[in-house]
Chains A and B, each alone.
Chain A
Amino acid sequence: MPGRAIHVNLHPRYRGAWHGATREAAQARQRRRERLGLILVTLALAATILAAVRAGFDAGATVMLAAGSLVLLLSAAHPMALWSRWNSDLIGRRGRGRGMTLILLVLGLGLTLAGAGREALLRRARADCTAALRRLSSGAGGAAVLTREPYSGIRGWLIYDRRPRRCADLIRMGDAI
């Protein structure tokens, strides 16, 4: 009769096989989903690194962006689920906690934003130094003082017009001056 539930009363001898087959099918579906997830994570990570390198990003900023994107992507899955084919039972049995998702989101967002911020800061410092170099070369005046290693990773410190600016390219500046 249409619309009526069918009850299958299996003989006890076959019940184990029925449940086993159902469980294996569910695990296979889970494995397919996780395999797709692994491929997407790998592709997204490779795309982030390639884009950062092509755009001429600083090495430190690239590492931060890559790590941040990986952690952000993992917040949608679970770090232990990356090796997709064999972890389906772990994922199926026990769901991710909200704490794990939240902490991975905060960590990933923090690293990504810090990487982007660092790159923006370095670009601004380079632009400042180029502008100062032009100003000094044209004889427009302004006191320029170069010192060594004010910050780790930024190789110089340029003071002109009484405003301190970080300089990312000490050697070029030193050569020019």
Chain B
Amino acid sequence: MRTFPTLLLCWMVTGLATVGGSILGNAGGPSGVKAGAVVGGIIGLLIALGIARRVSWIPASETRGGFVGGLLGFAAAIAITLSNMDTPVAAVMSTGLVGVGVLMGAGFARGWARGGRGA
């Protein structure tokens, strides 16, 4: 597994998809921006994991765990971004938590897949 490229890929693709989603959701008013950003971010995470799986950066067995971890990281990123809407730096940095979450989730998935070995 290539961890560093996976971290950067998930960070960038999710961030770009979040921005794209919020632009598309802008027509629906302030709540449309937020909903669009959340949906866009989740789709971006799925796309990033799909690419990482396709280029063999993350094993297929760890993709689901990575997705769950990435979702948790994205939830933390949403909380941070919503409380710091006056600066884009917080939004960009907090999206990095998605990549960290994906790696943590993949690690946990690897652990569970080997259930009990060395426990």
Q: Which residues of A contact B (CB under 8 A)?
A: 27-28, 31, 58-61, 63-64, 67, 70-71, 74, 78-83, 85-88, 90, 97, 99-100, 103-104, 107, 110-111, 114, 118, 151-153
Query: In the complex, which residues of chain A have a beta carbon less than 8 angstroms from the beta carbon of B82?
Result: 60, 152-153
Tell whether A63 pairs with B83 under 8 Å between CB atoms, given A80-B107, A104-B100.
yes
Tell whether A86 pairs with B118 under 8 Å between CB atoms, given A110-B93, A118-B84, A152-B85.
yes
Complex: A126 Cα to B100 Cα, angstroms? 34
Majority secondary structure of chain B interface residues (helix, strand, loop or mixed): helix
Q: How many interface residues does chain B have, given as a range?
A: 20 to 34
Complex: A67 Cα to B103 Cα, angstroms? 15
* Bitwise interface map of B from 106 to 119 toward A, beta carbon under 8 Å scored 1, else 0: 11101100100111
Query: In the complex, which residues of chain A have a beta carbon less than 8 angstroms from the beta carbon of B3?
Result: 78-80, 100
Complex: A142 Cα to B77 Cα, angstroms? 40
Q: Which of A31, A81, A86 has the most CB of B within 10 A?
A: A86
